[in-house]
């Protein structure tokens, strides 16, 4: 009799545990898990894969097995993947000076060109170790872009002899860096796990994880404002600064903008309507609608830009379009920073771009 009662009690406990395991997590935890699995991890995986292809491209191009156009296309892909990480920069990539190793921007004094020249003059037989010990200015995509796209560099046989050791070293450095970061996301107790199980080593509760994701999104939008505002001359009395544009040598400025914006919007909407938007109740339906409309208008304006960024910047009508895009981006940024943060009960504080 007692044994039957014990068995029934045990079975009931097990059933309860199984039901608990299958039950949906509380909203903040469910959203953090969904964004980790469907937005962040895919973006970091894509970044690592594009850098693997970049390294392979550098080797193939320098061996004469790939054309310059093909090598440039590999760079554009890597640049786009990197731009897509800007609103997703939490954890390993935000630590240890890694982001600077990927891209040196803004380059207000043409340090990339100057330091590449100085490095190759001092290390004509440059090795991977030489690059690893060099400045971040020459380790990343900005230097890679300079080597492939600058009009002052001719990549004939003599040019390859001088520049290819650095090109292949940067490719290898980016491949290793992105692979290391991805591994730190995928480890059993890595960044992804920290964002999906609470309490974790990083987050005492799921709201802290959502707060960091929102801050990263806001930082990404704010950084996007600076990457648009700097070449528009918003800090130089309206005098355009074309060489302050992101990826200006390759003409990838607008493609990078679009990739960053798309990732910010993915954090908002989620891959399956399970992003930050899903955390807003009916009382915040108006705010959700305004943010939806803000992204829609940004995408509409961006799609209407049918000329390269440099061409738009050199023309008064083009500058009007870009300034309108900036104003719309500013509105979306402010909606996230103030109203969305307040609606979610999150304190934003300072961001990575304060003081720029």
pLDDT in tens, 130-139: 999 999 999 9
Tokens standing for 336?
A: 């996230």
Choose between 19 and 275: higher pLDDT: 275
Q: Which two three-digit tokens encode residue 322?
A: 């870009």
What is 27-343's CATH topology?
A: A middle domain of Talin 1 (1.20.1420)
Share of the chain above pLDDT 90, in %: 89
Return the domain boundaries, the chain: 27-343
pLDDT 10s digits, 249-259: 999 999 999 99
What pLDDT is recorded for position 350?
A: 53
Look at the alpha carbons of 248, 129, 191, 48 in this order and tell me if their dihedral is positive or negative. Answer: positive
Q: What percent of the chain has pLDDT over 70?
A: 91
Q: What is the pTM of this model?
A: 0.90
Helix 206-232 vs helix 27-35: crossing angle, to nearest 10: 50
Whether 45 and 204 have beta carbons less than 8 Å apart is answered as no
Surface-to-core class of residue 138, CB atoms within 10 Å of its CB (0-12 exposed, 13-18 middle, 19+ buried): buried
Residue 14 has pLDDT above 80, yes or no: no
């Amino acid at each position: 009799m007692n044994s039957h009662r014990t068995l029934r009690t045990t079975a009931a406990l097990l059933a309860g545990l199984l039901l608990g395991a299958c039950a949906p997590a509380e909203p903040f935890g469910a959203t953090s898990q969904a964004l980790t699995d469907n937005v962040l991890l895919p973006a970091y995986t894509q970044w690592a894969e594009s850098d693997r292809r970049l390294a392979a491209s550098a080797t193939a191009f320098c061996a004469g097995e790939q054309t310059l156009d093909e090598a440039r296309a590999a760079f554009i892909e890597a640049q786009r993947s990197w731009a897509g990480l800007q609103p997703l920069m939490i954890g390993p990539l935000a630590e240890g000076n890694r982001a600077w190793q990927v891209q040196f921007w803004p380059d207000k004094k043409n340090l990339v060109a100057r330091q590449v020249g100085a490095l190759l003059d001092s290390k004509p037989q440059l090795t991977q170790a030489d690059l690893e010990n060099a400045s971040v200015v020459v380790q990343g995509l900005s230097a890679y872009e300079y080597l492939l796209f600058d009009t002052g560099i001719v990549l004939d046989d003599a040019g390859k002899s001088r520049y290819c050791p650095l090109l292949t070293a940067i490719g290898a450095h980016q491949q290793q860096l992105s692979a290391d970061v991805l591994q730190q996301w995928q480890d059993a107790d890595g960044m992804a796990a920290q964002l999906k199980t609470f309490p974790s080593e990083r987050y005492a509760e799921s709201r802290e994880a959502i707060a960091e994701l929102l801050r990263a999104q806001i930082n990404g939008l704010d950084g996007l404002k600076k990457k648009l505002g700097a070449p528009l001359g918003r800090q130089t009395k309206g005098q355009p600064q074309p060489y302050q544009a992101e990826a200006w040598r390759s003409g990838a400025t607008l493609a990078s903008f679009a990739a960053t914006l798309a990732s910010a919007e993915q954090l908002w909407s989620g891959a399956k309507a399970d992003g930050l938007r899903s955390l807003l109740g009916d009382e915040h339906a108006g705010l959700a609608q305004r943010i939806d409309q803000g992204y829609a208008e940004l995408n509409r304006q961006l799609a209407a830009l049918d000329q390269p960024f440099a061409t738009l910047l050199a023309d008064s009508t083009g500058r009007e379009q870009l300034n309108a895009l900036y104003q719309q981006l500013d509105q979306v940024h402010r909606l996230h920073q103030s109203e969305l943060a307040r609606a979610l009960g999150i304190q934003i504080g300072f961001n990575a771009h304060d003081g720029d």
